[in-house]
Amino acid sequence: MKLLRQHITVKSIAGIVLLLVLFSVIVGIIGYRTFTDALLNQYAEGAFLTAQTAAELVDADKIDEYAQSGGVTPAYKAVWDRMDHLCNSSGSTFIYVIVPDRSDYRHITFLFSTIDHDSHYTKYDFGFVRDTTNDEYREKYRALYELEADRELVIRDKGNIETDSHITAMIGLKGTDGSVKGILCVQRQMDILAGVRSTFLGKIALAVAVLVLLVILGQSIYLHRVLLHPVNLITEEAARFSRENTASEQKLQNTIRNRDEIGQLAKSVDTMEEQIETYISDITQITAERERISTELSLATRIQAAFVPHRFPPFPDRSEFALYASMDPAKEVGGDFYDFFLIDEDHLGLVIADVSGKGIPAALFMMASKIILQSCAMLGHGPAAILTKTNEAICSDNQEQMFVTVWLGILEISTGRLTAANAGHEYPVIKTSDGDFALLKDKHGFVIGGMNGVRYREYEIQLTPGAKLFVYTDGVTEASNAKNELFGTERMIAALNGAKDETPEGILLGVRRAVDDFVQDAEQFDDLTMLCLEYKGPKTAVPAKELTVDAAAENIPAVTAFVEAELDAVGCPPKAKLQLDVAIDELMANIAQYAYAPGTGPVTVRFAYEEPSKTVTLTFLDKGMPYNPLEQEDPDVHLSAEDRPIGGLGIFLVKKTVDGMDYAYKFGQNVLTVRKKLQ
């Protein structure tokens, strides 16, 4: 920083000094020129004046006579004496009269020649002939003779202090006939000029030096006060601000009162600090707000997740089909959903849908769509009618122009007949009993919410036992990896067929795994929602495996006898049989005691056995008051005899001896299911 500041000072001063020197040189040159010209003029005028006076001494008509005189006649002598006197009294160095050689002016002949006695020159003798000094003199001579010039001047200025610098003023000596008879020359030394000139230059140099020093000093002080000091203050303030992030109470503009760019900068820094401070507090507020929104969003996620059926198996007492579904929103909340519900004992509604867009708006729209779809379905309409009615309901007040694609199917459980309609949703995938999964290219209607008055067409598929249905949203097929390749329908069907013999849960897991392997580290872009149904076939010999009795303790042996007979038929080992007997005893006792209290009512016990997994399923159905025994807390089995309450062990005992228990309240019935694996 210090280096930089010095740099600014040095640069600034160097620039000014350079300008100053340049200026001084120009001024010096101009001054020198003007000065020299003025002096020369003065010299010249003086020389001409002397020449004029000297010319009057010489009678031009007598030039020839003087030339013949040999320099000894009294007339000649008289002129010479007066000329000599003039030379010594006028400050001239040399006064002489010459006659040049008229052919080419290369030679001159001296007629008169007087010198300043104090000078170191010697005069030329009368009649002395010498070469013309140079071409300049020759041209001047010629001008006087031939071009009728009155006077001419030759300046021999060597530019230095040598006394050789001189001027020569020339006047043509004209006879009465007007012709030039000779030339009178007056030469003066310019020693004064040289001396004055060197003094002049010396003074200018001194003045420049003093000025430069003053400028350096002044500029340093000025720069420090006007530039460096304020810049330092601003720099320190900026550093302080970046450390503390609070605007200073001592405003820079109060300290730096410059009315220049620096002052402007100080003001700007003040304003910037205030704005940044406001900005920081805004950001803090926004962050808090965002936190709140994020909390609400995670709540929304949980609500949405809870809003679709999420307990599996969803219908444990229904052996005719198995069902599994999953939903993974890309954002906290998404627009995809699946749904399934029993419309009545023999009809299962299945829905998979994808709302346009994502996030909260999609989630809200999804909620509305799901409720409307299910409500319409519960009225007992066919899929096409359900979609048509749902479309009307949604279109009637769909200001945001959102839409939802829906595949909706209704399975007639007893026959395996699946009636479905498709509102712009992905093709379902069907696996026949012993075949592979394959796309079912069904007829699509327009999306729901897109246009009023759309009619949908429904179609039927016959599912045979072992058939499977897989429906999904585009999040599956359009899952993309880092190279932006899509997962695609083909990979999906390959994944399905790779797990085709699994349970619906296993199949979804297989697809999910395939998608994950494909996508790897790329971000999940769309919601991932899937539903898989396995149709196991209608119930067979239902009456033989179901017993309905009055809910009373004395009917327990009858139930036990019914179940034991079935267990014997499937080769149940004695221990499992006894354990199931305990379960029957406890559950029947519970129902007898509480379900219809104080009255009584029917209880139905269903027996089911699944050969591959060797699992016995006992379902107890009663129409008594809704009560979920699984919510009962387990007793503390570590208390002493005195501290233990009498009772409360029944359900606990059953939980401990069977392999699975489920409870649901459906169609006005308590449905309690117990599963036991026969080893």
Partner 1 sequence: MTIQKTRNETALTIALSGRLDTVTAPELEAVLKDALADVSELTFDFEKLDYISSAGLRVLLSAQKTMNRQGTMKVIHVNEMILEIFEVTGFSDILTIE
Q: In sequence order, what are the beta bridge partners of 110? A: 98
What minimum distance in Å lies between the beta carbon of 469 and partner 1?
42
What minimum distance in Å lies between the beta carbon of 546 and partner 1?
22
Single out the residue of 565, 578, 597, 630 in contact with partner 1 (rule: CB under 8 A): 578
What minimum distance in Å lies between the beta carbon of 642 and partner 1?
6
| Interface segment toward partner 1; rule CB under 8 A; list 255-263, 502-510, 533-541, 575-583 | 575-583
What minimum distance in Å lies between the beta carbon of 650 and partner 1?
4
| Interface segment toward partner 1; rule CB under 8 A; list 22-30, 124-132, 492-500, 629-637 | 629-637
> For residues 130 and 575, which CB has a smaller minimum distance to partner 1 in the complex?
575
| Interface segment toward partner 1; rule CB under 8 A; list 82-90, 235-243, 424-432, 584-592 | 584-592
| Interface segment toward partner 1; rule CB under 8 A; list 180-188, 207-215, 290-298, 630-638 | 630-638
What is the residue whose two structure tokens read 């009858």?
A: 558
Within 90-190, residue ranges assigned H as helices are 135-146
What minimum distance in Å lies between the beta carbon of 507 and partner 1?
36
What is the per-residue DSSP string for 182-229? EEEEEEEE-HHHHHHHHHHHHHHHHHHHHHHHHHHHHHHHHHIIIIIH
**Residue 581 within binding range of partner 1, rule CB under 8 A:** yes
What is the residue whose two structure tokens read 């600014």?
A: 8
> For residues 397 and 554, which CB has a smaller minimum distance to partner 1 in the complex?
554
What minimum distance in Å lies between the beta carbon of 632 and partner 1?
12
> For residues 153 and 653, which CB has a smaller minimum distance to partner 1 in the complex?
653
> For residues 401 and 640, which CB has a smaller minimum distance to partner 1 in the complex?
640
Say whether the peptide bond before residue 543 is cis (omega within 30 degrees of 0).
Answer: no
Q: Are 527 and 328 in contact (CB under 8 A)?
A: yes
Pairing mode of beta strands 437-439, 429-431: antiparallel
> For residues 159 and 647, which CB has a smaller minimum distance to partner 1 in the complex?
647
**Residue 558 within binding range of partner 1, rule CB under 8 A:** no
**Residue 582 within binding range of partner 1, rule CB under 8 A:** yes
The CA radius of gyration of the chain, in Å to the nearest whole number, is 63
**Residue 91 within binding range of partner 1, rule CB under 8 A:** no
- Detail the DSSP E strand segments found in 329-403: 336-344, 347-355
Single out the residue of 24, 579, 619, 670 in contact with partner 1 (rule: CB under 8 A): 579
Q: Which pair of tokens denotes residue 446?
A: 């327009």
Task: Write the single-letter amino acid at 348.
Answer: L
What is the pattern of x (binds partner 1, CB under 8 A) and - over residues 288-307? --------------------
**Residue 633 within binding range of partner 1, rule CB under 8 A:** no
> For residues 322 and 658, which CB has a smaller minimum distance to partner 1 in the complex?
658
Q: In sequence order, what are the beta bridge partners of 461? A: 418
**Residue 125 within binding range of partner 1, rule CB under 8 A:** no
**Residue 638 within binding range of partner 1, rule CB under 8 A:** yes
| Interface segment toward partner 1; rule CB under 8 A; list 78-86, 186-194, 403-411, 648-656 | 648-656
β-sheet with 468-472: strand ranges across: 321-328, 528-535, 468-472, 429-431, 437-439
Pairing mode of beta strands 444-445, 417-423: parallel
Single out the residue of 159, 612, 647, 668 in contact with partner 1 (rule: CB under 8 A): 647
Q: What does the alpha-carbon distance between residue 596 and residue 602 come to, in Å, rounded to a whole number?
A: 9
What secondary structure, in 3-state letters, does 591-636 show?
HHHHHCCCCCCEEEEEEEEECCCCEEEEEEEECCCCCCHHHCCCCC
What is the pattern of x (binds partner 1, CB under 8 A) and - over residues 514-553? ---------------------------------------x
Single out the residue of 128, 220, 644, 669 in contact with partner 1 (rule: CB under 8 A): 644
**Residue 629 within binding range of partner 1, rule CB under 8 A:** no
CA 225 vs CA 16, 106, 527: distances in Å: 18, 73, 66
**Residue 556 within binding range of partner 1, rule CB under 8 A:** yes
**Residue 622 within binding range of partner 1, rule CB under 8 A:** no
| Interface segment toward partner 1; rule CB under 8 A; list 224-232, 303-311, 526-534, 640-648 | 640-648
**Residue 589 within binding range of partner 1, rule CB under 8 A:** yes
What's the sign of the alpha-carbon dihedral 583, 584, 589, 594? positive
Single out the residue of 585, 607, 622, 662 in contact with partner 1 (rule: CB under 8 A): 585
User: Nearest CA to 588 among 536, 635, 551, 539?
Assistant: 551
Q: What does the alpha-carbon distance between residue 221 and residue 217 come to, in Å, rounded to a whole number?
A: 6
- Detail the DSSP E strand segments found in 46-165: 94-100, 107-115, 129-131, 151-156
At CA 300, angle to CA 298 and CA 302, rounded to 5? 75
Chain positions contacting partner 1, by CB under 8 A: 553-554, 556-557, 575, 578-579, 581-582, 585-586, 588-589, 592, 635-642, 644, 646-647, 649-650, 652-653, 656-657
